[in-house]
């Protein structure tokens, strides 16, 4: 039986407090008026020093600003400004700074959302993987079921927080929630049957309730199995898992369209949802591996051997390649055809996030493939941990690049708010997962595949 | 001097695995084991060195990748850089996404085919090769262990092999 040690508890509470303070600082320092935004911009420009001259930086901004499809309130604000000023120049400038103000106000929201979703997607990916293990009647993994159940205990708090962020972010994230903008935009009007606020809320709540219901019943049955005299709870879990996977593939796709793709409502991509799923599952497997290694090292999992680790590492390797495949599938098709309405999504990412955009590819593909290719290395805990750290950092950047270019555009940075948000959710994750692991013995009982799993050898 | 060998024939793969371990323990020298199908763990029991085929495959894959890059760089960028549908053929890097499918396929092609050919060469298999089967039954349902007599007592060895569960033991001069 695992028990969350006082030290870990203390560390995670400190992380939560520091993180919360940092997030609060981010929201408080966000500019509330145009003048403040201009001041921040001026400071930024002088801060950039010689490499970025104010002149070139400004022209780049203007260019990016026009190419960006997600110019929230773009035309609406433009119209108003034109009416009041009657001057083309003044109109351009004012409209520009209003746009900047909006993006700067969005920054703390986006930072919190990126970190919040990153940790939610880990727990959610583990939940999907757990369901797959039941449905596929896998023989090697039952010894890891309690670890997976522990990690999925984060689904409840994580999904509620992300749900709240998504519902209250409003126009910060989702330009289609701006009625003035929709009134002038034929494309958004055409999508308003799907992209309207009440339906958006209903959908989001359905996803979260569905995921949590499965998690609740699956864990309850798994624990009931330990004292049951027959395989009733196991059979139930098998059935629930089948239906959950059906539900999950639908809700995960719609979640990706709702929460991420609709940040740039003029843009669409068919394999976007699977791409997010790939990010999710590879981070989830990495966290399963790392948690298992830590618990094993502390002596809680004597029945887990290096063959189990080898299998998890194989999945990390395979899904890293799968993620790259989808990333490239999406990128190459759009790059090749170069249709203006599709390509804006990558234009801003390549022009303004160049190092992150391509650096992420190296971290998420090249490193795992080189580190985890060798069969012997996959059995060495420290190798798996190193590869896992690369994968987690890489996929954090991945989520960052899904959200930031679409919401804050050119005014991105990795500062106090971003770091604080990661610390906050890391602390919460550690606390929730740690206490979740302590809820039941780490060794399951009566699972029909337990014996096979214990003797598993590859 | 033709070396004397004994052919011990078994009916069951579990017996073979056990017999191999027993023979190894007594320090007799096993020349070869013939089996109609792979026996899991036999290579470990015999103490065979692990295969390095995967390493060769990795190197062949790198070769294929290099071939693909050099080929396309020469043809599309250096030799005759045309404007084809507005694709940027200024540098290899500019036009890289178009090349990646070919780079991938050639990596796999080289890795797979050269590895298979290496396997054929190392295991000395080719068309019209004369089969080296000491007993036709070993391709169907019998297992055969070939043990070198060397300077051991022949009778003691036969007796020992019978004890390990062999259904037949034959002396081959």
How confident is residue A6, by pLDDT bands cut at 50, 70 and 90? confident
State the nearest Cα–Cα gap between A63 and chain B, in angstroms: 21
Residue A336 has its nearest CB partner, among B54, B58, B97, at B97
DSSP letter at A231?
Answer: S
What are the chain A neighbours of B54 within 8 Å (beta carbons)?
A: 375
B97–A328 CB contact, under 8 Å: yes
What is the rounded CA–CA span in Å between residue A115 and residue A144? 26
Across chain A, what does the average pLDDT equal?
87
Whole-Å CA distances, A384 to A289, A290, A292, A310, A315: 8, 8, 11, 9, 12
pLDDT at res. A93: 64
Residue A336 has its nearest CB partner, among B54, B58, B98, at B98
What is the rounded CA–CA span in Å between residue B167 and residue A300? 49
Q: In the beta sheet, which residues pair with residue B9?
A: B144, B168
Residue B70 · residue B79 · CB < 8 Å: no
Q: Judging by DSSP bridges, how do beta strands B5-10 and B168-172 pair with one another?
A: antiparallel
B97–A373 CB contact, under 8 Å: no
Coil/strand/helix, residue B130: coil
ipTM of the predicted structure? 0.89
Q: Does residue B104 sit at the A interface (CB-CB below 8 Å)?
A: no
Reading the block at residue B137, the tokens are 């039954």
What is the rounded CA–CA span in Å between residue B11 and residue B35? 10
pLDDT at res. B2: 58
What are the chain A neighbours of B98 within 8 Å (beta carbons)?
A: 332, 336
pLDDT tens, A126-178? Answer: 999 999 999 999 999 999 999 999 999 999 999 999 999 999 988 888 999 98
Provide DSSP, A206-222: HHHHHHHHHHHHHHHHH
Half-sphere exposure for B169 (CA within 13 Å, toward CB): 19
Spatial strand order of the sheet with B5-10 comes to B29-34, B143-148, B5-10, B168-172
Reading the block at residue B80, the tokens are 């005759």
State the nearest Cα–Cα gap between A328 and chain B, in angstroms: 8
The stretch A191-197 carries a mean pLDDT of: 92
pLDDT tens, A281-305? Answer: 999 999 999 999 999 999 999 999 9
A373–B58 CB contact, under 8 Å: yes
Assess whether pLDDT exceeds 50 at residue A246: yes
State the nearest Cα–Cα gap between B152 and chain A, in angstroms: 38
What are the chain A neighbours of B86 within 8 Å (beta carbons)?
A: 338
Q: In the beta sheet, which residues pair with residue B5?
A: B148, B172
Q: In the beta sheet, which residues pair with residue B169?
A: B8
Reading the block at residue B145, the tokens are 């262990």
State the nearest Cα–Cα gap between B116 and chain A, in angstroms: 20
Half-sphere exposure for B39 (CA within 13 Å, toward CB): 22
**Residues in chain A whose Cβ is within 8 Å of chain B:** 328, 331-332, 335-336, 338, 373, 375
A331–B97 CB contact, under 8 Å: yes
pLDDT at res. A274: 95
What is the rounded CA–CA span in Å between residue A133 and residue A308? 14
Mutation choice for B interface testing from A317, A336, A339, A340 by most B CBs within 10 A: A336
How confident is residue A341, by pLDDT bands cut at 50, 70 and 90? confident
Assess whether pLDDT exceeds 50 at residue A79: no
pLDDT at res. A396: 96
Q: Does residue B11 sit at the A interface (CB-CB below 8 Å)?
A: no
A336–B54 CB contact, under 8 Å: no
Chain A residue closest in CA terms to B88: A336
Residue A120 · residue A212 · CB < 8 Å: no
Task: Mark the ranges of chain B whose per-residue pLDDT is less than 50.
Answer: 1
What is the rounded CA–CA span in Å between residue A218 and residue A126? 13
Q: Does residue B100 sit at the A interface (CB-CB below 8 Å)?
A: yes
pLDDT at res. B155: 86
Q: Does residue B85 sit at the A interface (CB-CB below 8 Å)?
A: no
pLDDT tens, A370-419? Answer: 999 999 999 999 999 999 999 999 999 999 999 999 888 888 888 899 99
In which residue are the tokens 């290096």 written? A306
Whole-Å CA distances, B110 to A104, A160, A386: 51, 50, 30
State the nearest Cα–Cα gap between B55 and chain A, in angstroms: 9
Coil/strand/helix, residue A334: helix
| pTM value surpassing 0.95 | no
Whole-Å CA distances, A382 to A293, A315, A414: 9, 17, 28
pLDDT tens, A203-236? Answer: 999 999 999 999 999 999 999 998 888 899 999 9
A375–B54 CB contact, under 8 Å: yes
Positive or negative CA dihedral for A24, A25, A28, A29?
A: negative
What are the chain B neighbours of A335 within 8 Å (beta carbons)?
A: 97
pLDDT at res. A92: 61
Mutation choice for B interface testing from A335, A339, A357, A377 by most B CBs within 10 A: A335
What is the rounded CA–CA span in Å between residue B34 and residue B147? 12
pLDDT at res. A172: 84
Assess whether pLDDT exceeds 90 at residue A242: yes
Residue B100 has its nearest CB partner, among A328, A338, A373, at A328
B100–A332 CB contact, under 8 Å: yes
């Amino acid at each position: 039986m695992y028990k969350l040690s006082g030290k870990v508890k203390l560390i995670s509470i400190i992380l939560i407090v520091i993180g919360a303070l940092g997030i609060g600082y981010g929201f408080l320092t966000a500019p509330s008026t145009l003048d403040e935004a201009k001041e921040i911009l001026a400071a930024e420009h002088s801060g950039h020093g010689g490499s970025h001259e104010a002149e070139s930086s400004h022209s780049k901004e203007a260019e990016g600003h026009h190419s960006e499809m997600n110019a929230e309130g773009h035309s609406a604000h433009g119209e108003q400004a034109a009416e009041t000023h009657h001057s083309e120049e003044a109109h351009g400038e004012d409209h520009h700074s209003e746009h900047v103000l909006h993006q700067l106000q969005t920054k703390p929201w986006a930072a919190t959302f990126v970190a919040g979703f990153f940790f939610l997607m880990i727990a959610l990916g583990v939940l999907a993987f757990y369901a797959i293990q039941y449905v596929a009647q896998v023989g090697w993994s039952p010894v890891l079921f309690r670890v997976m159940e522990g990690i999925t205990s984060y689904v409840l708090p994580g999904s509620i927080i992300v749900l709240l962020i998504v519902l209250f972010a409003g126009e910060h994230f989702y330009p289609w929630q701006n009625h003035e903008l929709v009134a002038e935009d034929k494309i958004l009007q055409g999508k308003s049957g799907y992209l309207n606020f009440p339906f958006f809320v209903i959908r989001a709540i359905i996803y979260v309730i569905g995921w949590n219901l499965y998690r609740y019943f699956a864990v309850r049955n798994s624990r009931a199995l330990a004292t049951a005299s027959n395989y009733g709870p196991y059979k139930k879990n098998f059935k629930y898992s089948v239906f959950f996977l059906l539900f999950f593939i639908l809700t995960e796709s719609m979640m990706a369209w709702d929460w991420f793709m609709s940040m740039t409502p003029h843009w669409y991509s068919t394999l976007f949802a699977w791409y997010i799923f790939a990010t999710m599952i590879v981070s989830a497997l990495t966290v399963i591996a790392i948690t298992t290694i830590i618990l094993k090292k502390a002596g809680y999992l004597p029945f887990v051997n290096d063959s189990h680790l080898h299998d998890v590492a194989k999945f990390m390797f395979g899904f890293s390649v799968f993620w790259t495949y989808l990333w490239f599938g999406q990128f190459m098709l759009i790059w090749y055809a170069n249709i203006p309405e599709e390509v804006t999504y990558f234009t801003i990412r390549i022009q303004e996030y160049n190092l992150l955009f391509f650096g992420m590819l190296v971290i998420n593909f090249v490193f795992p493939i080189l580190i985890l290719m060798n069969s012997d290395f996959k059995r060495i805990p420290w190798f798996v941990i190193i590869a896992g750290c690369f994968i987690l950092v890489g996929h954090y950047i991945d989520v960052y690049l899904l959200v930031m270019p679409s919401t804050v555009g050119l005014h991105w940075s990795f500062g106090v708010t971003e770091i604080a948000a990661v610390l906050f959710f890391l602390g919460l994750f550690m606390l929730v997962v740690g206490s979740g692991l302590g809820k039941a013995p780490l060794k399951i009982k009566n699972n029909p595949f337990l014996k096979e799993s214990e003797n598993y050898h590859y | 001097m033709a070396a004397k060998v004994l052919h011990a024939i078994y009916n069951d793969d579990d017996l073979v695995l056990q017999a191999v371990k027993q023979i190894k323990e007594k320090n007799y020298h096993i020349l070869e084991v013939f089996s109609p199908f792979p026996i899991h763990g036999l290579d470990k029991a015999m103490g065979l060195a692990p295969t390095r085929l995967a390493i060769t495959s990795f190197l062949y894959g790198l070769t294929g990748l290099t071939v693909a890059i050099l080929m396309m760089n020469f043809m599309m960028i250096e030799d005759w850089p045309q404007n084809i549908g507005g694709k940027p053929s200024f540098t290899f890097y500019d036009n890289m996404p178009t090349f990646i499918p070919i780079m991938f396929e050639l990596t796999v092609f080289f890795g797979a085919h050269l590895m298979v050919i290496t396997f054929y060469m190392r295991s000395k298999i080719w068309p019209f090769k004369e089969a080296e089967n000491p007993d036709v039954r070993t391709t169907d349902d019998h297992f055969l262990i070939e043990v070198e007599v060397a300077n051991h007592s022949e009778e003691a060895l036969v007796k020992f092999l019978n004890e390990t569960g062999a259904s037949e033991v034959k002396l081959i001069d």
